[in-house]
A and B are shown apart, each in its own frame.
Chain A
């Protein structure tokens, strides 16, 4: 996440107030950098204009890779590389191959998706993201607005945040 220099940080006490505030701030043509909250707020994506995450689609494709890889490998190993008669069955008999194929599908779908999530959200041990207000992991809802990205003056945005319910508005400058 590219970080600008000067931010205005609105602190809110209630999730519903934040949602209303996001609406009014955005209607006034101000671009919001990000909203931070101690828990997931349902419906906030629509207010902020975020598209739905495509991680489920990624997961589907990881699963597809897992499924075909497992089936192909088992077929090749037991059917062609070293065929052996087991229980008087054909070398290649589909039903007993399904459990391992299923497990491998789930394995890749789950781990692939979580790894992708960590990469796109830039989550890694000891990552140092910009901190706007530490209280956002406790009980405050934080709205950060990049002043460099917005044409409106600091005072105007400050008033907008206070009017829409922010309990405090702070400035945050990064070097």
Chain B
């Protein structure tokens, strides 16, 4: 093992293995910083404001939303797809980049996987809450024996595929994340001084000591989990897209949806990873681990997936014209020039034009512009889902029933609730769990650190 003379080191600052333990465990062991406390207070505030709307939703029913007879699906499904999409980047980083042996994943995979888990919980909130009676969700959605005869759930329905896809995705991601955390929990356990922290992290570490036999099994498990998670993540967003694509609504009924949604998911997910990593890096002083090179590489993924999304938008439009179906053609003309033209324009600008700025090296290696563009992409991808959902149905088959969708305060409130939950959970994770995979970073110090120990 030698340092490559050509490649940039992935870990800066001439770190030794002990430095890695120190740097990552520091914020776990120290008292929360002022910046963290401020962020946590804001997140909790957003969460509590949102919970009022969740209460109203559960008490009064989905009538509190701005839905009407024509637009029966709006913010709820938009938020659901947006959050699921965000989740995909974590799996892409930890599983797909593991299969491709990309070592730069090691500084960001832990936080990205945490983001996946919290984003999927946020996504699950929406189908859960919209049922009104959460506790009946299991009964309605799972094939359990029931008193209707047993009348089983409909396995032909993409909504049921969603139930299986998202729940499998959530639990498999959780397990993948946890298995990766075990060796790092052991490190924290062995450094812990207090009785309580030793007991907590000792419980989480499950008696890991790092024996060669255990490492060998751990590596096999990680590789197979990555191999399983890769088709899984592709299937999840494929199935989410089929919620629309298997219907016969003009604007939804297209075969391009699965690959287009998957690319969009990775695109928006990477944007969210960048938003979070730039803040985490600053808050916990991880500049030596998450370097400009890491950020540049993520920005390159954004260019690639952003361009795929752009081509998908254009292809969709072309196919609508080429199909010769007037309903299909009208759906797309209406999207771009109808009353929701501003949403379409926002989506086009944010998702197709803004990532192209990353072709300029100065922009893709600057922290400020990366942060700004990552936020723009997040907004743009929310609008993409809004455009697909609402503009396809607000002018349906009978002009007499054409309508507009106006969100109520509870539409906004439930969305805020999910954002508040996401931020709160991520901040708790980043304070109490190791945000960088110490064991993996240690394994590349000799080949990709700045000096040989």
- On chain A, the residues within 8 Å of B168 by CB distance are 103-104, 106-107
Which residue from chain A places its CB closest to the CB of B246 in the assembled complex? A96
Residues in A with CB closer than 8 Å to B440 are 39
A89 to B155, CA, bound (A): 12
Give the residue of A36, A111, A120 whose beta carbon is less than 8 angstroms from that of B175: A111
Give residues of chain A (94-147) contacting chain B, Cβ–Cβ below 8 Å: 96-97, 99-100, 102-104, 106-107, 109-111, 113-114, 117-118, 120-129, 131-132, 134-139
User: Is B179's CB under 8 angstroms from A114's CB?
Assistant: yes
Contact call A113/B221, Cβ cutoff below 8 A: yes
Determine if B282 is an interface residue (Cβ-Cβ < 8 Å): no
Q: Do A129 and B207 touch across chains, with their CB atoms under 8 A apart?
A: yes
Query: Would B224 and A128 count as touching, CB distance under 8 A?
Result: no
A86 and B190 contacting across the interface, CB-CB below 8 Å: no
When the two chains form the complex, which single residue of A44, A100, A103 contacts B215, counting CB atoms closer than 8 Å?
A: A44
| Cβ–Cβ contact A37 & B215, under 8 A | yes
**A71 CA / B139 CA spacing, docked (Å):** 21
Residues of B within 8 A of A15 (CB): 1, 446
Most buried by B among A87, A96, A138: A138
Query: Can you name the residue of chain A whose Cβ is closest to the Cβ of B161?
Result: A99
Out of A16, A77, A104, A110, name the residue touching B228 (CB < 8 Å): A110
Given A110-B225, A111-B172, A139-B442, list of 14 further CB < 8 A pairs? Answer: A15-B446, A36-B209, A36-B211, A50-B212, A81-B150, A100-B160, A103-B232, A109-B224, A114-B221, A123-B206, A124-B206, A126-B206, A135-B190, A137-B209
CA distance A36 to B156 in the complex (A): 51
| In the complex, chain A residues whose CB is within 8 Å of the CB of B212 | 34-37, 41, 44-45, 48, 50
Q: What's the minimum C-beta distance from A154 to chain B, rounded to whole angstroms?
A: 22
On whether the beta carbons of B172 and A131 are closer than 8 Å, the reply is: no
Verify if A59 is at the interface (C-beta below 8 Å from B). yes
27 pairs, CB–CB < 8 Å, chain A vs chain B: A38-B442, A39-B215, A39-B440, A41-B212, A41-B215, A44-B212, A45-B216, A50-B216, A53-B217, A56-B223, A78-B154, A86-B154, A99-B164, A104-B168, A106-B168, A109-B224, A114-B175, A114-B179, A114-B221, A118-B206, A121-B213, A126-B206, A126-B207, A129-B207, A129-B209, A137-B183, A139-B21
Q: Which residue of B lies closest to A125 (CB)?
A: B203
Q: Say whether, besides A55-B217, A113-B224, A37 and B207 are in contact (CB < 8 Å).
A: no
How near does chain B come to A7, taking the closest CB pair, in angstroms? 13
Q: B334-361 interface mask toward A, CB cutoff 8 Å, 1 = contact, 0 = none?
A: 0000000000000000000000000000
Does A74 sit at the interface, judged by CB under 8 A? yes
Contact partners of B242 in chain A: CB under 8 A? 99
Q: Are B220 and A39 in contact (CB under 8 A)?
A: no
- Give the residues in chain B near A117, CB-CB below 8 Å: 179, 217-218, 221
B217/A138 in contact, CB under 8 A: no
Contact: B18 with A55, CB < 8 Å? no
Tell whether B137 is near chain A: CB-to-CB under 8 Å.
no
Is A82 in contact with chain B by the CB < 8 A criterion? Answer: yes
Interface size on B, residues (CB 8 A): 68
Contacts of A128 in B (CB 8 A): 207
Interface: B171 (CB within 8 A) = yes
Chain B residues at the A interface, C-beta cutoff of 8 Å = 1, 16-18, 21, 143, 149-152, 154-156, 158, 160-161, 164-165, 168, 171-172, 175-176, 179, 182-183, 186-187, 189-191, 199, 202-204, 206-221, 223-225, 228-229, 231-232, 235, 239, 242, 438-440, 442-443, 446, 453
Smallest beta-carbon distance A92→chain B, Å: 10
Q: Is the CB of A38 within 8 A of B207?
A: no
What chain A residues lie within 8 Å of B152 (beta carbons)?
A: 77-78, 81-82
Q: Which residues on the A side are within 8 Å of B213 (C-beta)?
A: 34, 50, 121
CB distance from A38 to the nearest CB of B (A): 5
The answer to whether the Cβ of A40 comes within 8 Å of any Cβ in the partner chain is yes
- Complex contacts, B149 vs chain A, CB 8 Å: 82
With a CB–CB cut-off of 8 A, which chain A residues contact B165? 99, 103
A14 at the interface (CB under 8 A from B): yes
Inter-subunit contact A126/B202 (CB<8 Å): yes
- Quick check: A59 and B224 within 8 Å, CB to CB? yes
Q: Which residue of B lies closest to A45 (CB)?
A: B216
- CB pair A82 B16 closer than 8 Å: no
B442 and A16 form a contact (CB under 8 A) = no
Complex Cα gap A45–B217 (Å): 10
Closest A residue by C-beta to B154? A86
Are A89's CB and B228's CB within 8 A? no
A77 in contact with B187 (CB, 8 Å): no
Which residues of B have CB within 8 Å of A131?
209
